Chains A and B, each alone.
Chain A
Amino acid sequence: MKSASEQVSAARQGKVARLSLRRFAAVSERAAQAACLGFSLLGAACEERVARGVPGPAKPAAHEQTVPRAHAPELSLLARVGKRLFFDPNLSASGKMSCATCHDPDHAYGPTNDLAVQLGGPRGDQAGGRAVPSLRYKEYTPPYADLLDNPDGMSAPGPGGGFAWDGRVDTLAEQAKLPLLSPVEMANKTPDEVVLKIRAASYAVEFERAVGHEPWGDPAAAFRAALAALQAFQLEDPSFHPYTSKFDLHASNKLGGEFTLAEQRGLKVFADPKLGNCASCHFTGAGLSGSSGLFTDFSYEAIGVPRNAALPSNQDASYFDLGVCGPLRADHPALVDAPNTFCGMFKTPTLRNTTNRRVFFHNGVMHSLEQVVRFYNTRDTRPELWYPNLGGTPKPKNDANFPSYGLVTRQYVGGTTQKYDDLPARHRHNIDPQMPLDGRKPGSKEPLSEQNITDLLCFLNTLNDDYTPPATPPSNGPCVH
């Protein structure tokens, strides 16, 4: 974090820099931050948000004598315009919704609340179709391919890459188009409408300069430029990929990165193919293009996430969101009678910054990371906790030992558990059989012990950004010993 005096200093520099913007192509990140202030586009909130979105370097330990200069990487002009676009609510039909509304920098560019889907549209009352993913750590995501080489160098190629839960767009720029034009999100009717708003914005001149010519005569090109600007902002600004978690300290041999015993055990649960086997898809090693520690292999898997009956789209019992095979993408269409190996597959998200997140899976059906872990652990052994009962009778009172962590909170007698209720039977062969979801029989032993789960959550907690090692390591607590 910047000190107060540094911020004041930055603001002063910013005024100078702003005045000279027309003459110099390159200005510093600080200047860009301050420009946000100076134009008063978003008022103080903008300044605060940006400042918080760009964490400073990890605090060095006391004995460190030398601290490197804090090189604030300079954003390109295009990225700086992208930043303005990202935070501009005027780009929505409602005038109240910017990209940052759902992708909040203070929440790892994810949602601020626990709503399964966010509300948008011209009046801000339309529910979205899927849960909002974090925009962090997307810089290495390759375009979608049915047979993407797995970054682990070992697994067989399979569906992977691309953006959104189904990979239907190949780049961050293409992705940005989706919310801008979605009627239930920012709800612009056409690209031209977006361009008109940009033309009227306070940063229109910057936009012109970034695009390099008078863009307004070719709205299609101007729209593409806006998308490119949004992409540039996400690729260039470190707040989208800060790598400031405890795990990052650990993996890069930094002070403060030493795992506690619980975290070490949790890492083992995470990686061990016989336990959590999480790393098999939430790949942590060295991957494509110099990436490492992304906690995703960009792959798509079908794991039978329970249907979220609360979603408006799911009020139609015949509607199924089948991910890669549609209906939001059309290039792997699900046929009524034929199996389709792409159906039910959704993208493996990064596990960074998940412990503070309050909505999980593509349909937002779960609301805590512990709940997700327990779903993995008991989907097969206790499916009645996760899928609805058909034909049974609810008990007047749950048994004392009936868990409260499941989606089904009412204990039933008799009836049938509707396992995989959001995946038509003809596609269930697509269910990934890997541990811990290995299809074991109901009532059999669960893959993970309570201690495993506790430890695993401790490890996952090390994946949150903005970690500052405590001055004194804690001597007790659930994640210490």
Chain B
Amino acid sequence: MRKSFSSVSILALAALGACVALNACSGPQGPGTNQGQGDEKSGTIGLQLQIGGGLSLNTVSYSITGPGGFSRTGSLDLSSATAFSATIGGIPAGNGYSITLTGTTTDGSTTCGGSATFNVAARASTKVVVALDCHQAPRTGSINVNGSINICPQIDELSANPDTVAVGSSIALTGVAHDADNAPSSLSYQWTASPGTLTTTGSTATFTCTAPGSATITLSVSDGDTNPTCADVLTTTVNCTAGGTVASAAFIPGSTTEPLLKAGHFAGAKVCVDANNNGKCDAAENPVTTDANGKFAISFSGSAAGLIADIPAGASNTADGSMNPSRIVFRAALGQVSEQGTGIVLSPLSTEIVRLTEANGTDYATEKANLGTRIGVTGAQVITDPNLLVDGPQNAALREANILSNRFRYAITKLDRGDKFPDSLAVPGGNPELTGLAGVTPATATTVDTRAPITFAQAEQAAFNVEDVPRYDSIFIVMLENKSTQAMLGSRFAPKINGYLAAGNNFASYYATGNPSEPNYLALGAADDFGITDDSQWNCDATGANAPQDLPLPDKTQPGLGKSPFAATCTQAAAVNHNITGKPNLFNAVSANGMTWRTYNESMNPGQDVRTDSVTDPAVVAPDHVYAVGTIGGNTAAVGNPLLSLPMPAGLYKTKHHPGMGYQNVRSAPEFKYSNRTLGGGQWDPFLLASSDYAIPAGYDIDQFSTDLASGNTGNLNFVIPDQCDDMHGIGVTGTASSGSTTAIDCSSIGNNQPVATGGNIITRGDNYVDFLVKKIQASALWQNQQKKVAIVLMFDEGNATAPDINSCCGWKAGKTATDAPLVQNPDGTFSQDLSVNNYKNGNQGHGKSLFIVLNNQPSAPKGIADNDVYSHFSFVRTLQDMFLLSDPAKDGSYMNRSKYTEKFIAQNILNLPEYAGSADTHYDAVRPMNHKYVIPATYVQKGTLDDTRPLQVGADANQTNVWAVK
């Protein structure tokens, strides 16, 4: 483009003053001579004055001087008249007077003045005519011109060769210009580029692409003219192309230790700028496709913001040679694209950065750093191709990439499926799909469905908030035993637990699902107890298809297990199978998704098989606990016998309290042995290495929990299981003493509904142990890393339910129908009863209400929330499935066992669920995630057992804040 114009310097050397004489004269046009009436020795003068030309004077000052030093000044009011006359009296008669008049017109443009001489005759008016000269201000001017002319320079040509290169490569630039007058100076060349870098040598320059997309090169040529507009400017556009890889992770099942992951790439993935932000590479978006190594190169017609990899189902994952099971989209922030240029790594981690910036309203740099902090790598490693990382950073990146892949794949599944947003059980008020549904209590199903199909942006977030349960990195579920709400709430024997209750959040109507322990722990492992109603050993009546597969059984005939209490055979009258075989459960599900689980078990015998109960050990002897004044229920004297020696009793560790033990597929899992660990803090710990029962393994760690918290090697799902003294269960612990009691002060069993007034020493023991655990977890680097979401749950396996009232809720055995049975899903998606489970009708009957406290490590998370909707162990298992994305709310069958028994599911499958027929309150009977979305109707009176002595609530909660909310 050629642009040129001449300019002339104009210099005003001087402004010429215009002097214009105006004839503003007055004349004898007034009213004539006045007759003076005053002093006979004085006379008056009459004045007449008229101004033409539209000018007007308001006042005219006069000054009269005369003989004998006469002097008078005054003003005459002309009142904007254009002519005036006035008479000035009292002037001594005499000769030689003069008068001067001055005045200015109202617009200030004209000044008038004049003078005259006169004589005064006594008692006569002397007519004086004053000629006024008026001078107007200047109105126009004229100039003198005195300048010089410079002809400006002209750019003839600006070339870029080539005009498209990859980021990091260079382009040669050449400019050609001329200046017709070669003055005032020789030409100078100024180059700029945005974005990009330049090296310049006069009329040539080298441009280097630093960011993908188009860049603007600007050349400015000056001939030295001081006027900047004289320089000629020309721009041209070049393209910087990008490239990179689409990285993948693959989880390889079967590890006996940590999850095994492999790095790779996705071949056949489409890469484009998703200009319309629909989560797809449309044809109009000119996608490129990754090669067999997952590489791509791409040029941009505009900004590179919105770069995605659209990985179709069937795309090859080179990590393990598998085919991508369903479409997934990776994203990269513009900042990352600019940073990496031709080495862009589109990965689950890059996608997570983008998602977080959108969720938090932050920027790329912030979330890159945060994600690095969360998984323990540098920000640079977060966006590095995991294939290029090694060791710990690679493992950390891959493990997270695998988890994120599952999340982002699920997001696209929701998008492509046209899910409504939010999930039906996450709609404020309650599930709108229930409204008007047959078989649902109408009063509890009133929410109108106003949802629309989910958008790409919504789906990306929804995959991390399944059924409004946020993703947590880790959860520590501290299992306590056998205390109803009534026994704990406000108990002076449990000040610490009550403190955590007040400081954290809680579920106020939480029900156990079985009685006694074992069915409740089974329910926590997989949302059913399969008809087990006792605490019997896990191989009892396990025959045929249910026969134990983890052979040999850990009985005392096995090498090294001489003191095993395990009975190799167990037959009971009721013939209820105790080895649950082939059922989905949390442990297998967590492992199958590349995550980890742990159970931390206190007071096992060193060297014992985790599948057996612990046994007494006379070689391990601990002193009784002694409680100082004021440390146990307000005691006024110390309690406990310092002289009492307590050999380690049998059954401190019980398999009935392991939520995975009853499941064959858990005990058979390759990671089973690795994942069951020790938990320290027990009364006998300091003496445990004196154990004589079994050979103590080399390097035996009696407190793997502390070790793991220090190393960060805890699991995603952690069941923390205190021994039968520290969990408040209670066993009779006796010993020998030279005097005083021979029974341990704080491990005797008390009632599940022990009144708080009488409490029980074991409650304080449990209270102290809970406090010890919580403080230990909260002191860990894991908890302190606020980029990780970590929760602690303090809960009881069961309450009490001695009252003649409702014992449970939410997936419970509602009624005593003899024919109910677990459901199995048929190939066509329908459900049928599995009639093979003996005694099923007796299971899942519940055991009352107990406390359920949630603490988390997020400083801005809401605190003090009480959710009084009804929930059960089955609700909790559903919540955990949502928390770790183990299930899909759109697929009932993806929820394990009774955790699928939502209100809608029950209504739709009522023929197979006769126990729920005729319900008075279908909301109460059904499972839902623990997300506080359901709003209790205004007149609804809460149901409740006498386990909770608080008045029954009427109507909704104080707020509907989610107990699990992280911000």
Contacts and interface: CB of A to CB of B under 8 A. Distances in A.
Interface of A: 57-58, 60-61, 63-69, 71, 73, 152-154, 238, 241, 243, 247-258, 267, 270-271, 279, 283-293
A251 B813 CA distance: 11
Contacts of B605: none
Nearest to A295: B804
B946 A248 contact: no
Counting from the closest, the 5 A-B pairs by CB-CB distance are A290-B842, A154-B751, A284-B804, A290-B533, A71-B819
Given A279-B804, A284-B803, A285-B803, A255 B534 contact: no
B99 to A, nearest CB: 117
13 contacts: A64-B439, A66-B438, A66-B917, A154-B750, A154-B754, A243-B815, A251-B804, A251-B807, A252-B806, A255-B918, A279-B804, A285-B803, A290-B839
A66 B439 contact: yes
B847 A286 contact: yes
Contact of B801 (A67, A286, A289): A286
A65 B438 CA distance: 6
Contacts of B754: 154
A80 to B, nearest CB: 16
Contacts of B907: 66
Given A153-B482, A267-B804, A286 B515 contact: yes
B651 to A, nearest CB: 15
B946 A271 contact: yes
Nearest to B925: A253
Contacts of B843: 290
Most A CB contacts (10 A, CB to CB) among B516, B910, B917, B943 go to B917
A65 B800 contact: no
A152 B750 CA distance: 11
Given A71-B819, A286-B847, A289-B574, A154 B752 contact: yes
B1 interface: no
A184 B947 CA distance: 48
B911 interface: yes
Nearest to B807: A286
Most B CB contacts (10 A, CB to CB) among A238, A249, A279, A292 go to A292
A58 B817 CA distance: 11
Contacts of A241: 816
B818 interface: yes
Given A60-B917, A279-B804, 9 more contacts: A249-B920, A255-B918, A255-B919, A257-B920, A271-B803, A271-B804, A271-B946, A279-B803, A292-B801
Contacts of A285: 800-804, 807, 848
Contacts of B715: none
A166 to B, nearest CB: 22
A255 B920 contact: yes
Interface of B: 438-439, 442, 482, 514-516, 531, 533-534, 574, 750-754, 800-807, 814-819, 839, 841-843, 845-848, 907, 910-914, 917-921, 924-925, 943, 946
A261 B848 CA distance: 23
Nearest to B906: A66
A57 B910 CA distance: 14
Nearest to B915: A252
A258 B911 contact: no
B845 A290 contact: yes
A257 B841 CA distance: 21
Given A68-B911, A271-B803, A284-B803, A252 B753 contact: no
A68 B914 contact: yes
Contact of A248 (B816, B917, B925): B816
Contacts of B911: 66, 68-69
Given A58-B918, A243-B816, A279 B802 contact: yes
Nearest to A285: B802
Contact of B804 (A65, A154, A243, A293): A293
Contacts of B914: 57, 68-69, 71
B820 to A, nearest CB: 9
Nearest to B912: A68
A291 B802 contact: no
Nearest to B833: A71
Contacts of A290: 514-515, 531, 533, 839, 841-843, 845
A348 to B, nearest CB: 15
Nearest to A463: B804
B804 A68 contact: no
Contacts of B815: 243, 248, 252, 254
A287 B818 CA distance: 18
Given A153-B482, A286-B845, A290-B845, A253 B802 contact: no
Most B CB contacts (10 A, CB to CB) among A66, A153, A251 go to A153
Contacts of B574: 289
Nearest to A71: B819
Nearest to A279: B804
Given A153-B482, A290-B842, A292-B801, A253 B921 contact: yes
A65 B911 CA distance: 11
A346 B817 CA distance: 31
Contacts of A152: 751, 802
B918 A283 contact: no
B515 A252 contact: no
Given A154-B802, A270-B804, A64 B839 contact: no
Contacts of A249: 918, 920
Nearest to A257: B920
A169 B961 CA distance: 57
A68 B800 contact: no
Most A CB contacts (10 A, CB to CB) among B804, B806, B843, B946 go to B804
B801 A252 contact: no
Nearest to A67: B917
Contacts of B921: 253
A289 B533 contact: yes
Given A243-B815, A289-B534, A290-B842, A153 B806 contact: no
A392 to B, nearest CB: 42
B886 to A, nearest CB: 28
Nearest to B846: A286
A292 B800 contact: no
A288 B515 CA distance: 8
Nearest to A284: B804
Contacts of B946: 271
Contacts of A65: 438-439
A66 B910 contact: yes
A153 B752 contact: yes
A255 B750 CA distance: 36
A256 B848 CA distance: 22
A253 B943 contact: yes
Contacts of A73: 818-819
Contact of B919 (A248, A254, A291): A254
A292 B845 contact: yes
A340 to B, nearest CB: 27
A154 B818 CA distance: 29
A211 to B, nearest CB: 19
Nearest to B922: A253
Most A CB contacts (10 A, CB to CB) among B574, B806, B839 go to B806
A248 B918 CA distance: 12
A257 B918 CA distance: 10
A255 B919 CA distance: 6
A60 B922 CA distance: 14
Contacts of B845: 286, 290, 292
A232 B841 CA distance: 17
A283 B805 CA distance: 11
A58 B438 CA distance: 19
Most A CB contacts (10 A, CB to CB) among B516, B816, B918 go to B918
B818 A286 contact: no
A289 B842 contact: yes
A253 B811 CA distance: 12
B848 A253 contact: no
A284 B919 contact: no
A57 B802 CA distance: 26
B657 to A, nearest CB: 16
A254 B533 contact: no
